[in-house]
């Protein structure tokens, strides 16, 4: 019996290729890991409702979503870290003055504070989830939100970073940044699961490709960057595998000795 490990996978550019498709060999590799007795989990910046189909296809019910703000273990919520509402209200007011729309997100839905905006359509369309936020400028009131999307061009988030100490701004698209609580990250969400399950550090693995994976790959003992990943990410990972388009998950799992 192989000694059990836990492996966390990012979604976009890691499990899914650039067409948002799950490569056949990646799927086979995930089920082989489970057959060998390992625990397989997802660590993503996406909302839970944005990868429900993928969870069902891969039969995964443990995940870190919203870059660590909403964590589920075996189908049960383990940890949440919501945004500060007073700061979010001020951010909304400041962003409206600059024509920078915001999308508010909880575990069930996403709502935009404007009726329509090119940046929202452009960035959300790139996810190919077949769903767009509807309009509700007051959605942030009276509920816990785990992430917001601020829509602005690269570099324009700098002024917000200086003004809002309660938030971290993590770019995921040329016209959009994730807004998460300061100090929140996939790494912290992973820690909650690992601590609960009692895995030792040497039995924890993580695969990622983007800037929001940086802390995860810096923190996890056995970190693997995808060949298609950002150069900054490849530098901090322990291993670099092939591109997602070249069955990088399968080759990476072989590289670290899990397959």
Q: Does the active-site annotation cover 10?
A: yes
Backbone dihedral angles phi then psi of residue 68, each to the nearest 5 degrees: 110, 0
Question: Cα torsion for 40, 168, 98, 131, to the nearest 10°?
Answer: 10
H/E stretch holding 216 reads helix 214-219
CA-CA distance, 150 to 234, in Å (whole number)?
A: 27
| Share of the chain residues as helix, strand and coil, in percent rounded to the nearest 5 | 35, 25, 40
What ranges make up the beta strands (E) of 106-221? 110-112, 134-135, 147-150, 167-173, 176-181, 204-208
**Catalytic-role residue among 10, 12, 106, 168:** 10
Positions annotated as catalytic residues are: 10
């Amino acid at each position: 019996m192989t000694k059990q490990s836990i492996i966390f996978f990012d979604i976009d550019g890691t499990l899914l290729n650039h067409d948002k498709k799950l490569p056949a060999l990646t799927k086979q590799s995930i089920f082989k890991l489970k057959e060998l007795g390992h625990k397989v989990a997802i660590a993503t910046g996406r909302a839970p409702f944005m990868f429900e189909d993928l969870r069902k296809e891969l039969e995964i019910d443990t995940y870190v979503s919203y870059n660590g703000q909403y964590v589920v273990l075996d189908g049960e919520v383990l940890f949440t870290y919501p945004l500060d509402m007073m700061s979010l209200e001020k951010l909304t007011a400041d962003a409206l003055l600059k024509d920078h729309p915001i999308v508010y997100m909880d575990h069930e839905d996403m709502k935009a504070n404007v009726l329509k905006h090119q940046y929202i359509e452009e960035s959300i369309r790139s996810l190919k989830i077949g769903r767009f936020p509807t309009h509700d400028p007051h959605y942030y009131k009276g509920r816990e939100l785990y992430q917001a999307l601020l829509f602005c061009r690269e570099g324009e988030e700098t002024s917000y970073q200086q003004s809002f100490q309660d938030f971290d701004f993590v770019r995921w698209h040329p016209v959009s940044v994730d807004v998460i609580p300061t100090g929140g990250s996939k790494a912290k969400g992973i820690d909650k699961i690992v601590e609960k399950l009692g895995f030792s550090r040497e039995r924890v693995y993580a695969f990622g490709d983007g800037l929001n994976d940086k802390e995860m790959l810096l923190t996890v003992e056995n970190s693997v960057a995808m060949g298609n990943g950002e150069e900054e990410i490849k530098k901090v990972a322990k291993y670099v595998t092939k591109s997602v388009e070249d069955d990088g998950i399968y080759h990476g799992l072989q590289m670290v000795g899990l397959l």
